[in-house]
Amino acid sequence: MKQPKKLKKIVIFASGNGTNAINIYHYFNKVEGISVSHIFSNNAKAKVLKKANDLGITAIQFDKESFYSTTELLDYIEALQPDLIVLAGFLWKIPDNFIKAFPKKIINIHPALLPQYGGKGMYGEKVHKAVIKDGATKSGITIHYVNEVYDEGEIIAQYHLDVASDDNHKTLAEKIHSLEYKHFPKEIHKLLS
């Protein structure tokens, strides 16, 4: 008798509105054998927590102590046995014990073409403002594995777009979000296939 395929589990970490997290959930809601099982946030006021609860996804808020000073959160996530941990707008540095526990199983999306415009403090609007200030003609997104250094993990995929001469940081952000929504779930799917 054929064994049923094991359900592949994604857990997502997000710090804010969670538009990428929810987009990933909707994408995999239509894919057999892969599901978003939990969404974690370091921000008690993050809109992603309510959005996740409204969709019936287990949403968990955690604090700095459980993330950095104890193994409480790590133990909880290890017990879930996720196939992939996805950082979708998550702003804290991942502790080394997580990276050791989940080698090549933690990925991040960055709103620029790494190695440009990456590193500590470079996220969201700050990235787009820097791209515009520098007069860059290209930008894009980078999906990469997470290692011990901000935005320096092995690159999985990059997608480019042209920066128009009349773009500002807000119009660039809209273009980048469109790229993220289109490509991030597909790259996750490839990694889990």
Which one from 38, 110, 128, 144 is the annotated catalytic residue?
110
Residue 100 CB contacts under 8 Å (≥ 6 apart), including other chains: none
Q: Which two tokens stand for residue 21?
A: 């997290």
Evaluate whether 1-103 and 109-193 have a shared fold. yes
In this structure, are residues 46 and 3 in contact, taking their beta carbons and an 8 Å threshold?
Answer: no
Q: CA 40 to CA 146: how far, in whole Å? A: 17
In this prediction, residue 2 carries a pLDDT of 58
In this prediction, residue 4 carries a pLDDT of 61
Let me know if domain 109-193 sits in CATH 2.40.10.220. no
Q: Which two tokens stand for residue 55?
A: 């969709």
User: Cis link prior to 4 (omega < 30° from 0)?
Assistant: no
In this structure, are residues 137 and 163 in contact, taking their beta carbons and an 8 Å threshold?
Answer: yes
Whether 144 is a known active-site residue: answer no
- Where do the structural domains in the chain lie, given as residue ranges? 1-103, 109-193
**Which amino acid, 96?**
D
pTM of the predicted structure, to 2 decimals: 0.94
Q: CA 10 to CA 77: how far, in whole Å? A: 11
Q: 1-103 adopts what CATH topology?
A: Rossmann fold (3.40.50)
Q: Which two tokens stand for residue 76?
A: 């909880």
pLDDT tens string for the chain (193 positions)?
555 678 999 999 999 999 999 999 999 999 999 999 999 999 999 999 999 999 999 999 999 999 999 999 999 999 999 999 999 999 999 999 999 999 999 999 999 999 999 998 899 999 999 999 999 999 999 999 999 998 999 999 999 999 999 999 999 999 999 999 999 999 999 999 9
Q: What are phi and psi of 15, to 5 degrees?
A: -115, -10
* CA trace torsion 119, 102, 94, 61 (10° rounding): 140
Q: Which residue has the tokens 């990276």?
A: 99
For residue 19, the number of C-alpha atoms closer than 13 Å in the C-beta half-sphere is 10
